[in-house]
Amino acid sequence: MRAVDKLRLRLRSLLRRGRVEDELEAELRFHLDQLIDENIASGMTPEEARAAALRTIGGIARFQEECRDMRRVNLIEDLWKDIRHAARVLGRGPSFTIIAVLTLALGIGGTTAIFSVVYGVLLKPLPFSEPERLVGLYHRGPGVNLPVMNQGPATYFIYRDNQRAFEDIGAWDRQEVSITGRGEPEQIQALAVTDGTLPLLRVQPILGRLFSKEDDKRGNPLRVILTYGYWQRKFAAARDIIGEPLQVDGKPATVVGILPASFKFLHTEPALLLPLQPDRAANWVSFGFQVLGRLRPGVTIGDANADVARMIPIVEQVPGFKKLRLEPNIRPLEQDVIGNLGPVLWILFGTVGIVLLIACANVANLFLVRTEGRQQEFAVRAALGASRRRIARELLTESLMLGLAGGVVGLLFARAGIGLLRRLAPATLPRLDEIGIDPVVLLFTLAISLVTGILFGLIPVMRFGTPSAGALKEGGRPASDAPVRQRTRNTLVVAEVAMALVLLVVSGLMIRTFVAMRQVQPGFVSPEQVQTFRIEIPEALIEDGVEMTRAFEQIAQRLRPVPGVVSVGLSSSITMDGEDNTRKTKVVLPIRDYEKLLEDLHDLAVVAERKCEESIPFEDIEKRLKHDGLL
C-alpha cells in the first residue's frame, strides 16, 4: 500500500511538474506572508516586516531546490536534460549525425541480419519438446570408409528391440508419392515414419490419431496422416476427412489423422505422412533411412553410443555386416538440420562483426574530431562548475543516442536484408521460416547498439574527460595539431586498416572458393535449354520392370514430337540438383533399353563425360555385384 502511494507521489512529482512547483511556491509564500503578518503585529511597518521576513527566510530558491531534491526528481530530470542537450548538439551538426547514424546502421543492420540467421538456424532450439534429448542414430563404417552411415530394417529392429538408453527410437525417410483419385493427380512430398517416431517427438494430432504398431506392419492396409497445410489446401479443411479413402501411388489408403500447423520436421516439407513399414524379415545389409531417438532422462550421448556399441555384435550376426566394421555415431538431432552449415554461418557472423567494428572505428574518429572542436566549450563549462562526471555523462549520452539511432535504422536494414534472403530462399539454408526479427534478435540489436555507443563514446571521454585549463587559454584556436591527440586518431586509423585487411583476405578467399566451384565440370552444357520434370509410375499400376520401362519410353516417345523439343531423355536422377534420390534402382532396365536411353541422354549432354575412365564390360559388373552379395 505504502509502496503504491510512494510510486504515485513520485510519478506526480515527475509528470505534474508544473502543478507541484506551483504548490511549492504557494506553500512557501504562505509561510512568508505569515512571517510578515507576525512582524507587523510586533510593530514594524509593512516594508520593514517584509524585508525582515525575507532576511530570515534567506534564498527561497534554495529551499525550493532542496524540496525538489527531497522529491528525488532531479536524477531523472538530469537525464532528460542530458538527452535534450545531446539531441540539440547532434541536431546542430546534421551532416555528422546523418553520416554517423548511417555508418552505424550499416554495421548494426548487417550484424543483426546475420545474427537472426545464426540464431534461427543454429541457436534456436528445435520446435519439439525437450529437443536436447533428441538424437540422430548414425554409424561410422571404417570398413567401407564412410564417416556417416544411416540405418536399415536390420539395424532398426535390432536396436529397437534391444536398446536401453532410449525412451524410444523411430525411423524416417523422405519420399515422393503420387496422389490420385481426388481431383487433379499430383506428386507430393511425403514423410515415411515408423510408429514410434511421432510419439517420441511429442506430436499430437489435431484430428484423428497417429500411426499404431499395426499400421506400421508390412502388408497391412495403408493409413496416412495429412499435414495441416495439405489438409487445408487439398481438402479445404474438411473435418470429416478422417476415414476417407485416398489413392497413394495407386494403392488405396485411408486418412487416419491430421497434424497441427506447428508440425515441422527438420528440413522436410511433407504434405503427407506414411507408415515406413520396414521389413522385419530383411536379413541383409541395407541402409535406406534415418533413425532418431529420444534419450531417457539423464542419459548422455556417450551412454547412448555405448548402448549402441553393445548391440553392434547382434547386428553383425546378420550376414554382410561384419566387414563394414560399424561403430556408433550418435549426434544431437540439430545436426540433421544444420549439417555442416555451422562453420560457414559463424564465419559470416565474424565477418559482419568486423564490418561493425570498422563502422565503429570510423564513427569514433568522426566523434573524436568533433569533440576536439568542442574543447573550449568543455573548458568553459568546467570553469563554471560542471564536474568531470557530468561532462563525461553528456558525451556518453550523445554517443549512446547515436548508437541507438543507428540501431533503429539498422533494424530497418536488417528487415530488408532478411526479406531479401527469404525471397532468394537458398536451398542450402534450413529453417528459413524460423528466421526473423523476434524478441531475442531485438534484444541482441539493443545490446550491440548500446555497446557500440559506449565503445566509440568512451574514446573521446578518456581523451577529453578532464578539460585542461590550456583549452581556455588557447582562445578558440583549433587544438588538433597537438601530437598526443593525433596519436589517438592514428591508432584508430591503424586499427581500421588492419580490420579492413582481414576482411579483404577473408572475402578474397571466399571469392576464390566461389570461382573454383564455378569451374567444377557439372557434366552438362547450356542448362538453360534443358527442362526437367519428375514423373513416377506407381508400382501398383505396373509391376513388371520391363513393362514399366516401356511405359516410360512411351512417355518419352510422345514428348519428342512436341514443337520446340529437340531431344528427350529419361534418368533416375539429375546431376547437381541437390536432391538425394535413394531409390535409383527402382526402374530395372533391360540393357538394350538402357543403351537406347543412354544415347538420348548423351544427345542432351546430361551425362558427364568420362573419357579418362575405362569402360567396364557388363560381365564385369555382374561379377562384382555377385561378389558383393547384391545379385
Partner 1 sequence: MSRPTDLVQGTLDLLILRTISLEPKHGWAISKRIQQVSRDTLQVQQGSLYPALHRLEQQAWIKAEWRPTETGRMAKFYSLTEAGGKQLEKELESWTRLSTAINLVIQEA
Q: Which residues bind partner 1 (CB under 8 A)?
A: 1-2, 5-6, 9-10, 13, 23-24, 26-28, 30-31, 33-35, 56-58, 62-63, 66-67, 69-72
- Sign of CA pseudo-dihedral 523, 527, 530, 535: positive
CB nearer partner 1, residue 63 or residue 594:
63
DSSP string, 302-345: HHHHHHHHHHHHHHTTSTT-GGG--EEEEEETHHHHHTTHHHHH
Cα 569 to Cα 314, 580, 602: the distances in Å are 45, 20, 9
Residue 28 Cβ vs partner 1, minimum distance, rounded to whole Å: 7
- Best CA proximity match to 195, nearest among 285, 278, 259, 138: 278
CB nearer partner 1, residue 71 or residue 550:
71
Distance CA 152, CA 315 (A): 11
Torsions phi, psi for 494 (to 5 deg): -60, -45
CB nearer partner 1, residue 48 or residue 244:
48
CB nearer partner 1, residue 52 or residue 541:
52
Residue 9 Cβ vs partner 1, minimum distance, rounded to whole Å: 6
CB nearer partner 1, residue 67 or residue 386:
67
Residue 71 Cβ vs partner 1, minimum distance, rounded to whole Å: 6
Residue 14 Cβ vs partner 1, minimum distance, rounded to whole Å: 12
CB nearer partner 1, residue 68 or residue 489:
68
CA angle 44, 48, 49 (to 5 degrees): 65
CB nearer partner 1, residue 71 or residue 596:
71
CB nearer partner 1, residue 27 or residue 622:
27
Are the beta carbons of 246 and 254 closer than 8 angstroms? yes
Indicate the burial class of 96 (C-beta count within 10 angstroms; 0-12, 13-18, 19 or more).
middle
Residue 8 Cβ vs partner 1, minimum distance, rounded to whole Å: 9
CB nearer partner 1, residue 19 or residue 218:
19
Cα 463 to Cα 93, 205, 486, 567: the distances in Å are 21, 65, 11, 75
Copy the grid coordinates of residue 55. Answer: 532576511
Q: What's the half-sphere exposure (Cβ side, CA atoms, 13 Å) at 572?
A: 12
Cα 523 to Cα 156, 328, 520, 575: the distances in Å are 37, 36, 9, 8
Residue 389 Cβ vs partner 1, minimum distance, rounded to whole Å: 24
* Helices assigned H by DSSP within 173-227: 197-200
Residue 61 Cβ vs partner 1, minimum distance, rounded to whole Å: 12
The gap from C-alpha 25 to its chain's centroid, in whole angstroms, comes to 59
Distance CA 579, CA 60 (A): 84
Residue 23 Cβ vs partner 1, minimum distance, rounded to whole Å: 7
The CA R_g of the chain, rounded to the nearest whole Å, is 38
CB nearer partner 1, residue 53 or residue 448:
53
Residue 68 Cβ vs partner 1, minimum distance, rounded to whole Å: 8
- CA distance from start to end of the chain: 86
Residue 44 Cβ vs partner 1, minimum distance, rounded to whole Å: 13
